[in-house]
Amino acid sequence: MNLPLEAPLDAATPVVSAFYDRFPYPGDPLQDGPPPGYNWRWCVDSVVAAVEGALPPPPRPWRILDAGCGTGVSTDYLCHLNPGASVLAVDISAGALAVARERTARSGAAGRVTELRIEQRSLLDLAGEGPFDYINSVGVLHHLDQPELGLRALVPLLRPGGLLHLFLYAEGGRWEIHRTQRALALMGVGTGPAGLRLGRELFTTLPETNRLRRHHEQRWALDTGADANFADMYLHPQETSYDLESLFRFVDQPGLCFAGFSNPEVWDPARLLQGELLERALALPPAQQWALVESLDPDISHFEFFLRRQDSDEAPAPWQDSWSDEELLAAGGERNRCLWGWPSTALLGPDLLPLAITEPELALMEALEAAPAGKPIGLLDGSLGPAQRVAAARRLLAERVLLLLTA
Protein backbone atom coordinates (compact mmCIF):
# COMPACT_ATOMS: atom_id res chain seq x y z
CA MET A 1 0.00 0.00 0.00
CA ASN A 2 1.45 3.35 -1.05
CA LEU A 3 0.56 5.97 1.55
CA PRO A 4 1.51 9.66 1.56
CA LEU A 5 4.37 10.61 3.84
CA GLU A 6 2.52 13.75 4.90
CA ALA A 7 -0.63 12.14 6.27
CA PRO A 8 -3.83 14.16 6.64
CA LEU A 9 -5.42 14.54 10.01
CA ASP A 10 -7.22 11.37 11.01
CA ALA A 11 -10.89 11.32 10.03
CA ALA A 12 -11.92 10.14 13.50
CA THR A 13 -9.99 12.85 15.35
CA PRO A 14 -12.96 15.11 16.29
CA VAL A 15 -15.05 12.16 17.50
CA VAL A 16 -12.21 10.63 19.51
CA SER A 17 -11.16 14.02 20.90
CA ALA A 18 -14.70 14.73 22.11
CA PHE A 19 -14.89 11.25 23.67
CA TYR A 20 -11.72 11.84 25.70
CA ASP A 21 -12.86 15.32 26.66
CA ARG A 22 -15.86 13.59 28.28
CA PHE A 23 -13.79 10.75 29.74
CA PRO A 24 -10.15 11.85 30.23
CA TYR A 25 -8.09 8.66 30.09
CA PRO A 26 -6.43 6.97 31.87
CA GLY A 27 -8.38 7.64 35.02
CA ASP A 28 -5.45 7.24 37.43
CA PRO A 29 -5.81 9.52 40.47
CA LEU A 30 -3.73 12.67 40.84
CA GLN A 31 -1.24 12.89 43.67
CA ASP A 32 1.48 15.14 44.99
CA GLY A 33 5.03 13.92 44.44
CA PRO A 34 6.52 11.37 42.03
CA PRO A 35 4.35 8.64 40.51
CA PRO A 36 4.25 5.34 42.41
CA GLY A 37 6.81 2.67 41.55
CA TYR A 38 8.14 2.50 38.02
CA ASN A 39 7.60 0.95 34.62
CA TRP A 40 10.89 -0.04 32.99
CA ARG A 41 9.36 0.40 29.53
CA TRP A 42 9.30 4.13 30.23
CA CYS A 43 12.95 4.22 31.37
CA VAL A 44 14.92 4.72 28.15
CA ASP A 45 18.16 3.39 29.65
CA SER A 46 16.41 0.12 30.52
CA VAL A 47 14.77 -0.12 27.11
CA VAL A 48 17.96 0.55 25.15
CA ALA A 49 19.86 -2.00 27.23
CA ALA A 50 17.12 -4.59 26.65
CA VAL A 51 17.03 -4.06 22.89
CA GLU A 52 20.67 -3.30 22.07
CA GLY A 53 22.43 -5.27 24.82
CA ALA A 54 24.28 -2.22 26.19
CA LEU A 55 24.05 1.52 26.75
CA PRO A 56 26.20 4.29 25.30
CA PRO A 57 28.39 6.00 27.91
CA PRO A 58 26.83 8.92 29.84
CA PRO A 59 25.67 11.58 29.46
CA ARG A 60 22.58 10.47 27.58
CA PRO A 61 20.31 13.47 27.05
CA TRP A 62 17.48 11.43 25.57
CA ARG A 63 14.86 13.15 23.41
CA ILE A 64 11.47 11.56 24.08
CA LEU A 65 8.06 11.86 22.42
CA ASP A 66 4.92 10.73 24.25
CA ALA A 67 2.58 10.40 21.27
CA GLY A 68 -0.95 10.32 22.66
CA CYS A 69 -0.21 11.09 26.30
CA GLY A 70 -3.82 11.27 27.53
CA THR A 71 -3.98 12.39 31.16
CA GLY A 72 -0.20 12.28 31.47
CA VAL A 73 0.38 9.06 33.40
CA SER A 74 3.03 7.94 30.92
CA THR A 75 4.46 11.46 30.63
CA ASP A 76 4.91 11.62 34.40
CA TYR A 77 6.87 8.37 34.44
CA LEU A 78 8.90 9.36 31.38
CA CYS A 79 10.05 12.52 33.17
CA HIS A 80 10.84 10.91 36.51
CA LEU A 81 12.57 7.84 35.02
CA ASN A 82 14.68 9.83 32.53
CA PRO A 83 16.27 12.72 34.42
CA GLY A 84 17.84 15.29 32.13
CA ALA A 85 15.78 14.25 29.11
CA SER A 86 13.79 16.50 26.77
CA VAL A 87 10.13 15.42 26.64
CA LEU A 88 7.36 16.40 24.22
CA ALA A 89 3.89 15.07 25.13
CA VAL A 90 1.00 15.51 22.68
CA ASP A 91 -2.66 14.57 22.64
CA ILE A 92 -5.77 15.65 20.74
CA SER A 93 -7.99 16.01 23.82
CA ALA A 94 -7.96 19.33 25.65
CA GLY A 95 -9.74 17.70 28.60
CA ALA A 96 -7.12 14.99 28.96
CA LEU A 97 -4.29 17.50 28.59
CA ALA A 98 -5.69 19.66 31.38
CA VAL A 99 -5.37 16.65 33.68
CA ALA A 100 -1.88 15.89 32.32
CA ARG A 101 -0.69 19.41 33.09
CA GLU A 102 -2.06 19.24 36.63
CA ARG A 103 -0.60 15.76 37.16
CA THR A 104 2.91 16.72 36.06
CA ALA A 105 2.79 20.02 37.95
CA ARG A 106 1.86 18.27 41.20
CA SER A 107 4.49 15.56 40.72
CA GLY A 108 7.34 17.96 39.95
CA ALA A 109 7.96 16.30 36.59
CA ALA A 110 9.31 19.42 34.89
CA GLY A 111 12.03 19.70 37.52
CA ARG A 112 13.37 16.29 36.52
CA VAL A 113 13.97 17.06 32.85
CA THR A 114 15.65 19.79 30.83
CA GLU A 115 12.45 20.47 28.86
CA LEU A 116 8.81 19.38 29.16
CA ARG A 117 6.28 20.47 26.54
CA ILE A 118 2.65 19.34 26.77
CA GLU A 119 0.77 20.36 23.64
CA GLN A 120 -2.61 19.77 22.00
CA ARG A 121 -1.51 18.29 18.68
CA SER A 122 -2.22 15.22 16.60
CA LEU A 123 0.61 12.71 16.28
CA LEU A 124 -0.13 12.93 12.54
CA ASP A 125 0.92 16.59 12.53
CA LEU A 126 4.38 16.64 14.11
CA ALA A 127 6.53 17.34 11.05
CA GLY A 128 9.60 19.31 12.05
CA GLU A 129 9.85 17.79 15.52
CA GLY A 130 12.54 15.34 16.50
CA PRO A 131 14.58 13.42 15.86
CA PHE A 132 13.65 11.46 18.95
CA ASP A 133 15.61 8.69 20.63
CA TYR A 134 12.44 7.14 22.02
CA ILE A 135 8.76 7.41 21.13
CA ASN A 136 6.13 6.06 23.48
CA SER A 137 2.69 5.50 21.92
CA VAL A 138 0.71 3.20 24.18
CA GLY A 139 -2.92 2.46 23.37
CA VAL A 140 -3.10 5.16 20.70
CA LEU A 141 -2.67 3.96 17.11
CA HIS A 142 -5.50 1.44 17.38
CA HIS A 143 -7.89 4.36 17.97
CA LEU A 144 -7.02 6.05 14.66
CA ASP A 145 -9.32 5.63 11.69
CA GLN A 146 -6.26 4.49 9.71
CA PRO A 147 -3.63 3.23 12.19
CA GLU A 148 -1.08 2.67 9.42
CA LEU A 149 -1.00 6.44 8.82
CA GLY A 150 -0.11 6.95 12.47
CA LEU A 151 2.79 4.51 12.26
CA ARG A 152 4.05 6.09 9.05
CA ALA A 153 3.89 9.53 10.67
CA LEU A 154 5.96 8.42 13.68
CA VAL A 155 8.77 6.63 11.85
CA PRO A 156 10.39 9.77 10.34
CA LEU A 157 10.45 11.35 13.81
CA LEU A 158 12.86 8.67 15.10
CA ARG A 159 16.61 9.06 14.76
CA PRO A 160 18.39 6.13 13.09
CA GLY A 161 18.55 3.46 15.77
CA GLY A 162 15.77 5.13 17.74
CA LEU A 163 13.10 3.02 19.41
CA LEU A 164 9.31 3.11 19.26
CA HIS A 165 7.20 1.44 21.97
CA LEU A 166 3.70 0.47 20.88
CA PHE A 167 0.71 -1.11 22.62
CA LEU A 168 -2.06 -2.42 20.37
CA TYR A 169 -5.20 -4.43 21.05
CA ALA A 170 -5.12 -8.19 20.46
CA GLU A 171 -8.23 -9.65 18.87
CA GLY A 172 -8.25 -12.97 20.74
CA GLY A 173 -8.32 -11.64 24.30
CA ARG A 174 -10.99 -9.04 23.52
CA TRP A 175 -13.70 -11.45 22.31
CA GLU A 176 -16.00 -10.69 25.25
CA ILE A 177 -15.22 -6.97 25.11
CA HIS A 178 -16.11 -6.80 21.43
CA ARG A 179 -19.41 -8.59 22.02
CA THR A 180 -20.26 -6.18 24.82
CA GLN A 181 -19.36 -3.20 22.63
CA ARG A 182 -21.59 -4.47 19.82
CA ALA A 183 -24.48 -5.11 22.19
CA LEU A 184 -24.29 -1.61 23.66
CA ALA A 185 -24.02 -0.11 20.17
CA LEU A 186 -27.08 -2.06 18.99
CA MET A 187 -29.07 -0.66 21.92
CA GLY A 188 -27.91 2.85 21.01
CA VAL A 189 -26.66 3.75 24.49
CA GLY A 190 -24.20 6.29 23.05
CA THR A 191 -20.74 7.31 24.21
CA GLY A 192 -21.71 9.77 26.94
CA PRO A 193 -22.97 9.60 30.53
CA ALA A 194 -26.06 7.57 29.55
CA GLY A 195 -23.85 4.99 27.86
CA LEU A 196 -21.67 4.77 30.94
CA ARG A 197 -24.67 4.27 33.22
CA LEU A 198 -26.31 1.68 30.97
CA GLY A 199 -23.01 -0.09 30.31
CA ARG A 200 -22.46 -0.62 34.01
CA GLU A 201 -26.09 -1.63 34.42
CA LEU A 202 -25.65 -4.29 31.74
CA PHE A 203 -23.20 -6.24 33.89
CA THR A 204 -25.58 -6.29 36.85
CA THR A 205 -28.57 -7.19 34.67
CA LEU A 206 -27.11 -10.14 32.78
CA PRO A 207 -27.49 -13.53 34.53
CA GLU A 208 -24.63 -14.36 36.87
CA THR A 209 -23.76 -17.33 34.65
CA ASN A 210 -23.51 -15.19 31.51
CA ARG A 211 -20.04 -15.39 29.96
CA LEU A 212 -19.75 -11.65 29.32
CA ARG A 213 -20.67 -10.81 32.90
CA ARG A 214 -18.37 -13.45 34.37
CA HIS A 215 -15.49 -12.33 32.17
CA HIS A 216 -15.95 -8.69 33.17
CA GLU A 217 -16.27 -9.41 36.89
CA GLN A 218 -13.34 -11.82 37.00
CA ARG A 219 -10.92 -9.92 34.79
CA TRP A 220 -11.82 -6.29 34.19
CA ALA A 221 -13.94 -5.03 37.10
CA LEU A 222 -10.98 -3.55 38.99
CA ASP A 223 -9.35 -2.07 35.89
CA THR A 224 -12.59 -0.35 34.88
CA GLY A 225 -13.46 1.00 38.32
CA ALA A 226 -12.77 4.55 37.10
CA ASP A 227 -15.50 5.81 34.74
CA ALA A 228 -12.94 6.90 32.14
CA ASN A 229 -11.44 3.41 32.08
CA PHE A 230 -14.86 1.74 31.72
CA ALA A 231 -15.79 4.07 28.89
CA ASP A 232 -12.47 3.53 27.12
CA MET A 233 -13.00 -0.23 27.18
CA TYR A 234 -16.69 -0.56 26.30
CA LEU A 235 -17.87 2.72 24.72
CA HIS A 236 -14.98 3.89 22.54
CA PRO A 237 -16.20 5.09 19.12
CA GLN A 238 -13.14 3.91 17.15
CA GLU A 239 -10.73 1.03 17.61
CA THR A 240 -8.90 -1.73 15.71
CA SER A 241 -7.66 -5.07 17.04
CA TYR A 242 -4.99 -7.37 15.62
CA ASP A 243 -3.82 -10.96 15.63
CA LEU A 244 -0.14 -11.82 15.26
CA GLU A 245 -0.36 -12.18 11.50
CA SER A 246 -2.03 -8.82 10.94
CA LEU A 247 0.23 -7.19 13.55
CA PHE A 248 3.38 -8.13 11.67
CA ARG A 249 1.84 -7.00 8.41
CA PHE A 250 1.08 -3.69 10.11
CA VAL A 251 4.65 -3.10 11.32
CA ASP A 252 6.24 -4.25 8.06
CA GLN A 253 7.22 -0.74 7.06
CA PRO A 254 10.35 0.56 5.31
CA GLY A 255 12.98 1.64 7.80
CA LEU A 256 11.52 -0.36 10.71
CA CYS A 257 12.39 -3.66 12.32
CA PHE A 258 10.67 -5.57 15.09
CA ALA A 259 12.94 -5.34 18.16
CA GLY A 260 11.09 -7.60 20.58
CA PHE A 261 8.05 -7.80 22.82
CA SER A 262 8.23 -5.59 25.90
CA ASN A 263 6.51 -8.39 27.86
CA PRO A 264 8.60 -11.33 26.56
CA GLU A 265 7.57 -13.58 29.43
CA VAL A 266 4.04 -13.71 27.98
CA TRP A 267 5.43 -15.17 24.73
CA ASP A 268 7.53 -17.89 26.39
CA PRO A 269 5.99 -21.36 25.75
CA ALA A 270 7.39 -22.48 29.12
CA ARG A 271 4.65 -20.40 30.71
CA LEU A 272 2.07 -22.85 29.32
CA LEU A 273 3.78 -26.15 28.52
CA GLN A 274 6.16 -28.69 30.00
CA GLY A 275 7.78 -32.02 29.17
CA GLU A 276 7.84 -33.22 25.56
CA LEU A 277 5.31 -30.60 24.50
CA LEU A 278 7.63 -27.85 25.71
CA GLU A 279 10.61 -29.47 23.97
CA ARG A 280 8.69 -29.52 20.72
CA ALA A 281 7.63 -25.90 21.20
CA LEU A 282 11.15 -24.68 21.93
CA ALA A 283 12.41 -26.38 18.76
CA LEU A 284 10.25 -24.02 16.70
CA PRO A 285 11.52 -20.70 15.30
CA PRO A 286 10.55 -17.67 17.43
CA ALA A 287 7.69 -16.57 15.17
CA GLN A 288 6.10 -20.02 15.37
CA GLN A 289 6.59 -20.11 19.14
CA TRP A 290 4.67 -16.83 19.36
CA ALA A 291 1.92 -18.21 17.12
CA LEU A 292 1.70 -21.26 19.36
CA VAL A 293 1.36 -19.11 22.48
CA GLU A 294 -1.31 -17.01 20.76
CA SER A 295 -3.25 -20.19 19.97
CA LEU A 296 -2.92 -21.60 23.49
CA ASP A 297 -3.70 -18.44 25.46
CA PRO A 298 -6.97 -16.78 24.44
CA ASP A 299 -6.62 -14.26 27.29
CA ILE A 300 -3.86 -12.24 25.58
CA SER A 301 -5.66 -8.94 25.13
CA HIS A 302 -2.88 -6.74 23.79
CA PHE A 303 0.50 -6.66 22.08
CA GLU A 304 3.26 -4.51 23.53
CA PHE A 305 6.53 -4.32 21.65
CA PHE A 306 9.47 -2.27 20.44
CA LEU A 307 10.25 -1.20 16.88
CA ARG A 308 13.65 0.11 15.83
CA ARG A 309 14.34 2.73 13.16
CA GLN A 310 16.73 0.95 10.88
CA ASP A 311 17.83 2.14 7.49
CA SER A 312 19.83 -0.98 6.67
CA ASP A 313 19.44 -4.75 6.85
CA GLU A 314 21.64 -5.02 9.94
CA ALA A 315 19.83 -6.72 12.83
CA PRO A 316 19.84 -5.24 16.35
CA ALA A 317 22.46 -6.59 18.73
CA PRO A 318 21.11 -9.56 20.70
CA TRP A 319 20.23 -9.05 24.34
CA GLN A 320 22.33 -10.95 26.85
CA ASP A 321 24.63 -13.98 26.50
CA SER A 322 26.52 -12.40 23.61
CA TRP A 323 29.36 -11.17 25.81
CA SER A 324 32.50 -13.25 26.26
CA ASP A 325 34.07 -13.46 29.70
CA GLU A 326 36.82 -11.07 28.59
CA GLU A 327 34.31 -8.57 27.21
CA LEU A 328 32.29 -8.64 30.43
CA LEU A 329 35.34 -7.96 32.57
CA ALA A 330 36.38 -5.10 30.26
CA ALA A 331 32.92 -3.50 30.16
CA GLY A 332 31.63 -0.74 32.36
CA GLY A 333 28.15 -0.83 33.78
CA GLU A 334 25.36 0.89 35.67
CA ARG A 335 22.60 -0.14 38.02
CA ASN A 336 19.12 -0.33 36.56
CA ARG A 337 17.09 2.47 38.15
CA CYS A 338 13.94 0.33 37.94
CA LEU A 339 14.50 -1.60 41.17
CA TRP A 340 12.59 -1.33 44.41
CA GLY A 341 14.37 -1.62 47.74
CA TRP A 342 17.92 -0.91 46.63
CA PRO A 343 20.46 -1.51 48.15
CA SER A 344 19.41 -4.92 49.42
CA THR A 345 19.57 -8.58 48.50
CA ALA A 346 15.75 -8.67 48.53
CA LEU A 347 14.33 -6.46 45.77
CA LEU A 348 11.48 -5.96 43.41
CA GLY A 349 12.93 -6.32 39.92
CA PRO A 350 12.12 -4.37 36.75
CA ASP A 351 8.81 -6.21 36.34
CA LEU A 352 7.86 -5.50 39.98
CA LEU A 353 8.35 -9.15 40.93
CA PRO A 354 10.38 -10.37 43.94
CA LEU A 355 14.07 -10.72 43.14
CA ALA A 356 16.80 -12.10 45.41
CA ILE A 357 20.49 -11.49 44.73
CA THR A 358 23.45 -12.79 46.70
CA GLU A 359 25.71 -10.80 49.00
CA PRO A 360 28.64 -11.05 46.51
CA GLU A 361 26.36 -9.80 43.72
CA LEU A 362 25.23 -6.89 45.87
CA ALA A 363 28.86 -6.10 46.74
CA LEU A 364 29.80 -6.09 43.06
CA MET A 365 27.00 -3.64 42.23
CA GLU A 366 27.89 -1.38 45.15
CA ALA A 367 31.52 -1.34 43.97
CA LEU A 368 30.29 -0.44 40.50
CA GLU A 369 28.23 2.47 41.84
CA ALA A 370 31.15 3.76 43.91
CA ALA A 371 33.58 3.66 40.97
CA PRO A 372 34.05 6.32 38.29
CA ALA A 373 31.61 5.98 35.40
CA GLY A 374 32.72 3.37 32.89
CA LYS A 375 35.31 1.65 35.08
CA PRO A 376 35.65 -1.95 33.87
CA ILE A 377 33.96 -4.61 35.96
CA GLY A 378 37.25 -6.54 36.10
CA LEU A 379 38.99 -3.59 37.79
CA LEU A 380 36.41 -2.87 40.47
CA ASP A 381 37.37 -3.07 44.12
CA GLY A 382 36.38 -6.30 45.84
CA SER A 383 37.44 -9.81 46.71
CA LEU A 384 35.78 -11.68 43.84
CA GLY A 385 38.10 -13.40 41.41
CA PRO A 386 37.61 -13.12 37.62
CA ALA A 387 35.49 -16.27 37.31
CA GLN A 388 33.29 -15.22 40.25
CA ARG A 389 32.89 -11.72 38.80
CA VAL A 390 31.84 -13.10 35.45
CA ALA A 391 29.29 -15.43 37.06
CA ALA A 392 27.90 -12.60 39.21
CA ALA A 393 27.78 -10.19 36.26
CA ARG A 394 25.97 -12.71 34.06
CA ARG A 395 23.28 -13.31 36.65
CA LEU A 396 22.89 -9.59 37.34
CA LEU A 397 22.55 -9.05 33.59
CA ALA A 398 19.96 -11.80 33.30
CA GLU A 399 17.93 -10.27 36.13
CA ARG A 400 18.38 -6.79 34.57
CA VAL A 401 19.98 -5.37 37.70
CA LEU A 402 23.14 -4.60 35.73
CA LEU A 403 23.13 -2.58 32.51
CA LEU A 404 26.36 -2.76 30.51
CA LEU A 405 28.01 0.16 28.73
CA THR A 406 29.46 0.14 25.22
CA ALA A 407 33.13 0.98 24.91
Per-residue 3-state assignment (H helix, E strand, C coil) for 94-142:
HHHHHHHHHHHHHHCHHHHCCEEEEEECCCCCCCCCCCEEEEEEECCHH
Q: Give 238-281 as a DSSP string.
A: ---EE-HHHHHHHT--TTEEEEEESSGGGG-GGGT--HHHHHHH
* Triad 243, 244, 249: Cα angle to 5°: 100
Q: For residue 212, which amino acid is it?
A: L
Residue 172 has pLDDT above 50, yes or no: yes
Rounded to an integer, what distance in angstroms lies between the CA atom of residue 231 and that of residue 222? Answer: 14
CA nearest 344: which of 332, 355, 352? 355
Question: What digits encode the pLDDT tens for the residues 111-160?
Answer: 999 999 999 999 999 999 989 999 999 999 999 999 999 999 999 999 99
pLDDT for residue 83: 97
- Secondary structure class of 3 (helix, strand, coil): coil
Given pLDDT bands bounded at 50, 70 and 90, which one contains residue 403?
Answer: very high
CATH code: domain 13-171+243-309 is: 3.40.50.150
Average pLDDT, the chain: 94
Given pLDDT bands bounded at 50, 70 and 90, which one contains residue 11?
Answer: low
Residue 377 has pLDDT above 50, yes or no: yes
Question: What digits encode the pLDDT tens for the residues 280-295?
Answer: 999 999 999 999 999 9
Residue 3 has pLDDT above 50, yes or no: no
Question: What digits encode the pLDDT tens for the residues 251-289?
Answer: 999 999 999 999 999 999 999 999 999 999 999 999 999
Given pLDDT bands bounded at 50, 70 and 90, which one contains residue 12?
Answer: low
Report which DSSP code applies to 218. Answer: I
Q: For residue 329, which amino acid is it?
A: L
Given pLDDT bands bounded at 50, 70 and 90, which one contains residue 5?
Answer: very low
Residue 318 has pLDDT above 70, yes or no: no
Q: What is the largest CA-CA distance in the chain?
A: 72
Question: What digits encode the pLDDT tens for the residues 332-355?
Answer: 999 999 999 999 999 999 999 999
pLDDT for residue 7: 40
Question: What digits encode the pLDDT tens for the residues 32-76?
Answer: 999 999 999 999 999 999 999 999 999 999 999 999 999 999 999
Rounded to an integer, what distance in angstroms lies between the CA atom of residue 71 and that of residue 192? Answer: 18
Given pLDDT bands bounded at 50, 70 and 90, which one contains residue 320?
Answer: very low
Residue 404 has pLDDT above 80, yes or no: yes
pLDDT for residue 323: 86
pLDDT for residue 317: 47
Q: For residue 203, which amino acid is it?
A: F
Contacts of 174 (CB under 8 A, 6+ apart): 241, 301
Which secondary-structure segment (H or E) carries 308?
Answer: strand 302-309
Residue 98 has pLDDT above 60, yes or no: yes
Residue 135, φ and ψ in degrees, nearest 5: -120, 125
The predicted model gives 354-371 an average pLDDT of: 97
Residue 406 has pLDDT above 90, yes or no: no
Q: Where are the domains of the chain?
A: 13-171+243-309, 172-234, 325-404
Rounded to an integer, what distance in angstroms lies between the CA atom of residue 290 and that of residue 158? Answer: 27
Residue 242 has pLDDT above 70, yes or no: yes
Percent of the chain surpassing pLDDT 70 = 95
